[in-house]
Each structure stands twice: as C-alpha cells, then as structure tokens.
C-alpha cells in the first residue's frame, strides 16, 4: 500500500516572515516617536481634509470655454485631471512630517522618506518646472495673517445695493 504524498506549501515571497517588519495601519506603525504620536493625536488626527477635486477639461472644451486651452498651454492639465483614491490618515501623516530642506519638500510616511524635488514634479506629477522658477522659501517672514484676513473682508464704505433687493416679492409684501 502506497503512502499518501504530502504536498509542501511554498511561501509566496520566499522570505522568512520573521525578518519582515510590518507597520500596522495605526499611529504606532506610522510614527515611531511617542512625542510625535501625541502631537499628531492632539493636533492632526481629527483635522479635516479638503476633499479631492479634479476637472474634466474635455467637458469645458465642448461648451466652448477658453480656460482649458490656457491650462493645456501651461502644461498642468495632467495634475488637474488626476482621479483616484486617497487615504486621509496617510495624507495627514504626510503633512505632519512635511519639512522644507534646501528648497525641497521632505516628509516621511510609514517609514519611507519622500523627497519632492524637481525630478518628481516633472516626471511623476507632470508639472513643468520653468527655468526662472524659484526654490520654496524656508519661511514667510513678510506674511501677516491679520493683513491677509483683512484683505478678504468687504470694504465697509462700499455701497452694496443688493441688500435692498426684494426678489420675487409682490408690491404689498415689499411694503410690509
């Protein structure tokens, strides 16, 4: 009587599972420093993100808008038409670790260092870099939040006639 043959299971990668360091989808897996974990939990974890936006230039071109041609001439249509999924927690970690060093953006996500230099902008994001473009400044010394806020406010001396419009009301309703 023949013995039953035993099949050996192969490992998918051939690498010992004990050697691979797995980073869980938690704060502890993304940030190794406890102080950074506390700071992230306090200031960044619940921060709202702006929902991803994209544009379909073909739609606007079919309605004879002129701005799609300007966007195409500038060479930024690729990044404006990007669609896909994004992961809010990883985006928060990306911005939490974001720093400017030597004029380039640097960050760290899930133990991977990411440097956004001109090659990344041109090859991956397909954003053209002009010859006379400047590096990212390390600080905004002349930036004043109050001045910027006040510049967005309406001029109080400017007369707004729309305040007195009554819309579709009848004459009797307007007099009340």
* Within-domain flag for 100: yes
For residue 70, pLDDT over 60 is answered with yes
Count of structural domains, the chain: 1
Q: Spell out where the chain has E strands.
A: 99-101, 104-109, 112-116
pLDDT of residue 9: 56
* Within-domain flag for 5: no
* Within-domain flag for 10: no
* Within-domain flag for 17: no
* Within-domain flag for 64: yes
Do 57 and 81 meet the contact criterion of CB atoms below 8 Å apart?
yes
Give the three-state DSSP class for 80. Answer: helix
* Within-domain flag for 89: yes
Rounded distance, CA 90 to CA 88, Å? 5
For residue 10, pLDDT over 70 is answered with no
Confidence of residue 4 (pLDDT cuts 50, 70, 90): low
Q: Tell me: the pLDDT tens digits for 27-62?
A: 666 776 778 778 877 777 777 877 777 788 888 888
- The residue assigned the tokens 């009554």 is 166
Q: Which helix (H) or strand (E) holds 156?
A: none
For residue 134, pLDDT over 70 is answered with no
Question: Cα(first)–Cα(last) distance of the chain, in Å?
Answer: 105
Q: Tell me: the pLDDT tens digits for 140-174?
A: 677 777 887 777 776 767 777 766 677 777 777 76
Q: Tell me: the pLDDT tens digits for 106-127?
A: 988 878 888 988 888 888 777 7
Rounded distance, CA 163 to CA 156, Å? 13
Give the structural domain span for 120: 27-175
Going by their DSSP bridges, the two strands 99-101 and 112-116 should be labelled as unpaired
Q: Give the mean pLDDT of 79-101.
A: 83
Q: Which of 94, 68, 63, 70 is nearest to 81 (CA)?
A: 68
Q: Which residues pair with 109 in a beta bridge?
A: 112
Give the three-state DSSP class for 14. Answer: coil
- The residue assigned the tokens 């419009």 is 165
What DSSP letter does each residue of 112-140 carry, written as one string?
A: EEEEE-HHHHHHTS-PPPPTTPPPPPS--
* Within-domain flag for 12: no
* Within-domain flag for 8: no
Rounded distance, CA 76 to CA 69, Å? 11
């Amino acid at each position: 009587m023949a013995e039953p043959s035993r099949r050996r299971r192969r490992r998918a990668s051939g690498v010992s599972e004990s050697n691979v360091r797995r980073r869980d989808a938690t704060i502890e897996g993304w940030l190794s420093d406890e102080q950074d974990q506390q700071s992230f939990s306090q200031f960044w974890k619940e921060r709202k993100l702006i929902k991803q936006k994209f544009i379909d230039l073909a739609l606007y071109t079919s309605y004879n808008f002129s701005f799609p041609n300007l966007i195409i001439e500038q060479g930024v249509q690729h990044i404006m038409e990007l669609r896909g999924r994004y992961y809010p927690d990883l985006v928060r970690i990306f911005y939490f670790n974001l720093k400017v060093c030597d004029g380039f953006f640097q960050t760290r996500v899930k133990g991977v260092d990411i440097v956004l230099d001109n090659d990344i902008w041109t090859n991956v994001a397909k954003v053209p870099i002009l010859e006379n473009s400047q590096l990212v400044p390390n600080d905004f010394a002349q930036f004043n939040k109050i001045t910027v806020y006040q510049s967005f406010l309406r001029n109080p001396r400017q007369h707004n006639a729309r305040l007195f419009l009554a819309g579709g009301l009848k004459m009797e309703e307007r007099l009340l």
